[in-house]
Structure 1
Amino acid sequence: MKTSLWSSLLLGISIICSSSMLIAQKNEKIKLTKSELQDKIKGGWAGQTIGVTFGGPTEFRYRGTFIQDYENISWYDGYIKSTMVHNPHLYDDIYMDLTFVEVYDRVGMHAPVDSFANAFANASYSLWHANQAARYNILTGIKAPESGHWKNNPHADDIDYQIEADFAGLMSPGMPNTASEISDKIGHIMNYGDGWYGGVYIGAMYTLAFVSKDINYIVTEALKTIPAESEFYKCIADVIQWHKEHPDNWKRNWFEIQQKWAEEVGCPEGVHMPYNIDAKVNAAYVVLGLLYGAGDFTKTLEISTRAGQDSDCNPASAAGILGTMYGYSNIPKYWKMGLAEAEDLDFKYTKTSLNRVYAMSFNHAVQMIKLNGGKINKNDVEIKVQQPVAVRYEKAFDGVYPVRKVGLNRQLKGSYEFEIEGTGFVIVGSAKKKEKSMKDFDIPLDIYIDGKKHASFIHPTNYLTRKDEVFWVYDLPKGKHKVRLQQTEEKEGYWVDLNNYIIYSDEPNHGIEQHAH
């Protein structure tokens, strides 16, 4: 399509949606028929499912690079059902969503944070990154919100809540601040700072997609929920600005994101590696798809997927927002191929199908509208649209910089000692057992720093309750420190693999390390 035609299309959309924009800004009430509300909620869940299915085969296969145009990404009739049946773990972002939806359905709109934390901590599905660290914390007595705090969770800035926040937006139509309140409670179970902001921002975009069909407005207005001093805000604001400067070249924008924002600080798997599961970078790819897709489903899915990294969750977020904006009935038939035959299938680890969550989310949205000053009439709902307000400022890994990664690749036998120079470290490793059939064992460990016992903890061999990092600390006095890891009980056939450790300091590495000859 020629540039002039795209410009005309965007201008038309802007004119059509100007009334919705004014309503949102004036904090007035709007009316949606109940069928319109239901259609938008269905569109959000369907879009998310379509997006994660489409991007699934590319997930983290493209790290620090985008997917070239000549690489075909499949889509065909029956693909969704086949994936749900044969690769159900792909839908972790959805069954995590559904865990929280089911708590609301069971406990009510005022369910306490422990209900949500315990539901996902004790669920039978596997977790990773911030979610898994939070699960371990909760099961060992560190409750929310401390379970997501960066000093207790080295993955605090990761994407986890960002990919799970769809439900908060879908149950808060036109009410971004209500979605933020939900995200404050649930998002801090597993994230903090930019990791939390990712969920706040995605949730806000969903809420605004109920009241506007202007993508630029949705992307920009939702950013008002994020503190301007945060790196998350600055990153997304950059993407919006670069889109204005390079409106026809998403790859140029991608390169700008890579150049300025791609350095990983927290996630031990991504530090000193091209792997990036940071919330703000992947949110940037969601926004990339939305802005350059300009309302077109195919372009939006293609770009948010081809940007790489978490390239199933990013198109899921983008398509979910687009599906909410247009409604289920207006999602192109091509993208709904085979969807109907999958809508009665329960997502693995849940008792909820798409058809069931369509109804549950509608019910929750109706209750939220009423709780927030709206009205429920016989055939329509009146929503008191909220003007977005920034949530509080918080920053993970403040003044903390990774300076060196040291490979170990060894088994812990009794004890292991090493020295660092800096302000902290993370030891990456996992508990193992010789045979899968063996009973699980919680391997007890002590950590000593400068000759004094610093902490005692367990390292489970059970994969569901595992600890992916042996130990971490970020606030030691700057200088040299001796570290000793001590196994306090040994059992034949059980051990801890030590993979590497990362050294942190209070100032960044300048990139050149001097070695004595």
Structure 2
Amino acid sequence: MIKLNTAAVKDKIYACWVGKNIGGTMGAPYEGRRELMDIKGFSTPKGTVLPNDDLDLQLAWLLAMEENGPYNLNALILGEYWINYITPHWNEYGIGKCNMKAGLLPPLSGEYKNKWKHSNGAWIRSEIWACMAPGCPDIAIRYALEDACIDHGMGEGTYAEFFTAALESAAFVVDDLRTLISIGLSKIPEDCRVARSVKIVVDNYDKGIDWITTRNQLVEDSADLGWFQAPANVGFVVIGLLYGEGDFKKSMLYAINCGDDTDCTGATLGSILGIAFGSAGIPEDWKEYIGDQIVTISLDKTSRHFADTCTELTERTYSMIVPVLMANGADVELTNGPQEIAKEYVDSLFDGKKAKFLYDRPGYSYSVDFIHASARVEFDGEPEIRANESIGVRIRFFNKKYEAKHLHIRLLLPDGFTAAYAKDVYLFHQDDASAEWNAVITAGEQVEAINRVIAEVTVMGHPTVGLIPITILG
């Protein structure tokens, strides 16, 4: 058990959102500039806060958590909130939304036909998960996965959100930036492109190589991915963290002057430093310059109230901490007394086993829960079918209760479709026991644009019927 002081946690959350606004406002005018720059500070008038989708999406995620609670919140719920409240249609945002509207569930919605799945849309919205799970990076990345996979599948964009969410959550109990970077790296695949970019920065910094050379090496290393991609831009944030050496202004200017997705790099850097060092770490003149206001650009605000100030957002975020920690069995207590953070607890934050379980899953898949069991639908390739052709579908069933089960399966097929499959699956008597079920679905002469198959799963002695949608595009 560790103890976190209530006032300190609130101060770090507030500094997170103020830092986010500072970096987003400072970087936004230069978004998309691909050359090395030399800005010195704000280009906007005092008191002006520029809107930023980085923060907007997190306001919708907070609403989803408030209305659904930490036990239930998953990618399916977040996807529905996305369709209802998030207005942009660009890049991965638009692709994920389009795929969901066609019936493809996350992470399949973020994987199918998505050339932007390695881009920046996910890791820039990770602070909400970190702030609701302070000092608990494995809890933060659990929700980060449900978030990122909607429009990034299991691409580099999702790994990037694992990295930032873990780093930001750990920053509530660790303020050494090098240690935080190492914790973030422990939560992503060692051979992924995000890890490669971060390691370039760390290695160059250790060798005394200057930040401009490091920036140019990142650009060259990511040239095959193109612009606005997560690996290089996460690397720019790490440049700010290391070469800025904890100085908020210096760090911010390093990151933004790297170019590319400047509002995202600046905003995320500002939030990380805000959490790590609290309000005291943000220069008073910049804090005063930006103010407390939140301005949105990507939200449909006609039916719901989203936070209008950093102060309000802080209070609402803080109010969800206890439910989130309780739901996930965290060994964290909020107290009005002194903080108590044992070294053994900090050492445990480097454990990557839970993270590997989360990210080690196929992108062409999605999960469905029905109380006593859950299922993960997996395609070997794109979920497409032509007239008279066949497609293979695999479902992995997981036992959620300590009781052996015979699952009985019936497929409800579109007119003219046929299927070959086993009608029974056995699940062993232990939590998390799993079993695999396979089907070959064959189309008839007529194939629609959207073809819905339903797997009806019943268990003798249980009243709950599991209905698993299998959407196949024509």
Whether the TM-score (by the shorter chain) exceeds 0.5 is yes
Amino acid at match of 2:260: Q
Out of 36, 39, 44, which is 1:66 matched to? 36
What is the aligned partner in structure 2 of residue 364 from structure 1? 320
Instruction: State the Cα distance separating 1:200 from its structure 2 match.
Output: 0.6
Q: CA deviation at 1:367?
A: 2.8
| AA aligned opposite 2:317 | S
What is the rounded CA distance, in whole Å, between the counterparts of 1:253 and 1:396 in structure 2?
33
Please, which of 226, 246, 270 is the counterpart of residue 319 of structure 1? 270
Equivalent position amino acid for 2:323 in 1: Q
Please, which of 192, 200, 213 is the counterpart of residue 252 of structure 1?
213
Q: What's the secondary structure of 2:4's corresponding residue?
A: strand
CA RMSD between the two structures: 3.1
Work out the CA distance in 2 between the residues paired with 1:107 and 1:199. 22
Inter-partner Cα distance in structure 2 for 1:58 and 1:76 = 12
> Are the aligned partners of 1:246 and 1:252 in contact in 2 as well (CA < 8 Å)?
no
What is the Cα deviation at residue 183 of structure 1? 1.4
* Residue matched to 1:78: 46
In the TM superposition, what whole-angstrom CA distance separates every residue of 1:182-217 from its partner, at most 9, and x where no partner exists?
112221111122110111101111112111221111
Which residue of the partner structure matches residue 132 of structure 1?
94
Matched, 1:104 2:78: no
Partner residue of 2:424?
none
Question: Which residue in 1 is equivalent to 2:149?
Answer: 188
1:153 aligns with 2:126: no
Q: Secondary structure at the match of 1:31?
A: strand
Out of 115, 132, 138, the position equivalent to 1:171 is 132
Q: Percent identity?
A: 23
Match of 1:45 among 17, 21, 29: 17
Structure 1 residues 333-352: aligned runs within 5 Å = 333-340=284-291, 342=293, 349=299, 350=301, 351-352=306-307
1:246-296, Cα deviation, whole Å (9 max, x unpaired) = 35x2001112212223321xxxxx4xxxxx111111101111111111100
Distance 1:234 1:395 in 2: 20
Cα 1:381–1:212 shift into 2, 3 Å: closer
2:456: which partner in 1? none
> Is 2:54–2:264's contact at 8 Å kept on the other side of the alignment?
yes
Higher alpha-carbon deviation: 183-192 or 292-301 = 183-192
Q: Which runs of 5+ in 2 are unaligned?
A: 365-380, 391-448, 450-474
Shift of 1:314: 0.4
1:302 aligns with 2:253: yes
| Cα distance in 2, alignment partners of residues 55 and 186 from structure 1 | 24
- Residue 394 of structure 1: CA displacement? 5.7
Q: 3-state DSSP class of the match of 1:388?
A: coil
Structure 1, unmatched stretches of 5+, are 1-28, 265-269, 271-275, 399-423, 425-446, 455-487, 489-517
Letter in 1 for 2:276: M
Distance 1:284 1:307 in 2: 10
The aligned counterpart of 1:56 is 28
Q: Per-residue displacement from partner, 1:149-178 (whole Å, max 9, x unpaired)?
A: 2x4422111111111112111212111111
1:242 aligns with 2:235: no
Match of 2:181 in 1: 219
Candidates 340, 352, 355, aligned match of 2:311: 355
Stretch moving more, 345-354 or 315-324? 345-354
Counterpart-to-counterpart distance in 2, 1:346 and 1:263: 33
Q: 1:289 to 1:369 in 2, by over 3 A?
A: same
Q: CA deviation at 1:352?
A: 1.3
Q: Please list the CA deviations of residues 362-403 of structure 1 after superposition, one character each: whole Å capped at 9, or x if unmatched.
A: 1222333343122244557777655233333569999xxxxx
The answer to whether the aligner puts 1:207 opposite 2:164 as a matched pair is no
CA distance in structure 2 between the partners assigned to 1:175 and 1:161 by the alignment: 19
Deviation at 1:142, TM superposition (A): 0.8
Structure 1 residues 341 and 284 mapped into 2: Cα distance closer, same or farther (>3 Å)?
A: closer
- 1-structure distance, mates of 2:70, 2:143: 10
Give 1:73 deviation, angstroms: 4.3
Which of 241, 262, 284 aligns to 1:290? It is: 241
Aligned length: 357
TM-score, with length taken from structure 2: 0.69
Task: State the one-letter code of the partner of 1:117.
Answer: G
| 3-state SS of paired residue (1:36) | helix
Q: Distance in 2 between matches of 1:180 and 1:234?
A: 20
1:112–1:232 CA distance, 2 compared to 1 (3 A): closer
Q: Is the 8 A contact 1:97 1:164 kept in 2?
A: yes
Distance 2:168 2:244 in 1: 17
Q: What is the rounded CA distance, in whole Å, between the counterparts of 1:395 and 1:234 in structure 2?
A: 20
Code of the aligned partner of 1:359: E
Residues in 1 aligned to 2:316 and 2:85: alpha-carbon distance in whole angstroms: 20
Q: Is the 8 A contact 2:137 2:166 kept in 1?
A: yes
Give the Cα separation in 2 of the matches to 1:364 and 1:389.
25
Contact 1:156 1:396 in 2 (8 A): no
Measure the CA separation in 1 of the matches of 2:218 and 2:253: 18
Q: For 1:372, give the aligned amino acid.
A: A
**Counterpart residue type for residue 11 of structure 2:** D
Query: Which residue number in structure 2 is paired with residue 373 of structure 1?
Result: 331
* Length-normalised TM-score, structure 1: 0.63
Q: Write out per-residue CA displacement over residues 438-497 of structure 1, whole angstroms, 9 at most, x where no aligned residue.
A: xxxxxxxxx999x9999xxxxxxxxxxxxxxxxxxxxxxxxxxxxxxxxx9xxxxxxxxx
8 Å Cα contact 1:193-1:395 kept in structure 2: no
C-alpha distance in structure 2 between counterparts of 1:453 and 1:76, whole Å: 58
What amino acid sits opposite 1:228 in the alignment? E
CA distance in 2 between counterparts of 1:333 and 1:377 reads 28
Q: What whole-Å deviation, never above 9, does each CA across 1:343-369 have from its counterpart, x for those lacking one?
A: 6x6776352122221011112223333
Distance apart, 1:341 and its partner CA: 5.0
Farther off after superposition, 232-241 or 293-302: 232-241
Q: Is the 8 A contact 1:40 1:325 kept in 2?
A: yes
